[in-house]
Amino acid sequence: MGLIPDWLLYGSAVALMVIVPGRWADKSLSPPAPPPPPPGEAALFATYSPFSTNEIISLPIMNDIDYRGTAFSVSKSGEWVLARESIRNCRYPFLNLGGNLGVRIRVQYKRSLDNYVLAVTESGARPLPFADPKTIKPGMRGFMPGFPQDQAGEATGRLIGETRLKTGKRFEAPETVLAWAEAGHTANLTGSLNKLLGGPTLDAQSQVIGITLKTKPRRGRLYSSTPATLAKIGNTPSRTYDFEHEDLLTRRNYGIVSDTLRREYRVAQVGCIQS
């Protein structure tokens, strides 16, 4: 049997990259996020959050706070993955609990990872499990819960494959990432979804595939880290795997499941106290 010419393989790959993502753009809109609870319920956040009461702080007035992205739990002992950009030039980073309450975080940097950090709290939420890299295939659907515009929201996409993404920083090599064709997001959200930055990209079993990066709405693209990058930062010595049942994610329920992850603080909002 003769070998297939290189030009034919290349042409087929280009055709798939251009034509198939267009067919995936089915725009499965999730319902709007539920409204935030009234201020009178603030005390409940301290009572029912997974954090110890001594690490919960009252946040200053809103003018002194900048919400920058999303984080997710990788250890019940209090370890969180987030993007370095979320805490850049920030003296007092925190996780938002809602109700004007937050939890201060300590940041651990890794020399081998320029764009991601590990944050630490005294206690934490149930960790999200990691997906087996062997199950990740082009065409699969991914789900990205977080806080895209300083409020609860999520997006979904179809995996195109690996690509190289420029960081925009001088002397820094492009990062190998996963590219997704956007296939839906929270209803009524328009414009940038870039504050999904640092949150998890999940498969249909609610397992983490990668760390969500930037979005390009005009191109209909979402980007996440590769599983290899996720493993470098997320496989911490204290990480213990939790084999409780995880909710299955579909194009119809991903908004509801995302709300549950946020309500349980497995996915949390990253903020910065300016003063």
The tokens for 70 are 């999303």
Region of poorest pLDDT, from 24-33, 69-78, 147-156: 24-33
pLDDT value of residue 61? 75
The tokens for 224 are 């996440």
Contact 102, 91 (CB under 8 A): no
pLDDT value of residue 204? 96
pLDDT in tens, 43-79: 566 667 888 888 899 888 767 899 999 999 999 899 9
The tokens for 136 are 């990740």
CA atoms within 13 A on the CB side of 149: 13
3-state SS, 115-152, equals CEEEEECCCCCCCCCECCHHHCCCCCEEEEEECCCCCC
- Reference 141, options 184, 175, 176, 177; nearest CA is 184
CA atoms within 13 A on the CB side of 115: 23
The tokens for 143 are 């789900």
pTM, full prediction: 0.85
Buried b / exposed e along 91-129 (16+ C-beta atoms within 10 A): ebbbbbbbbbbbbebeeeeeeeeebbbbbbbeebbebbb
pLDDT at 3 over 60: no
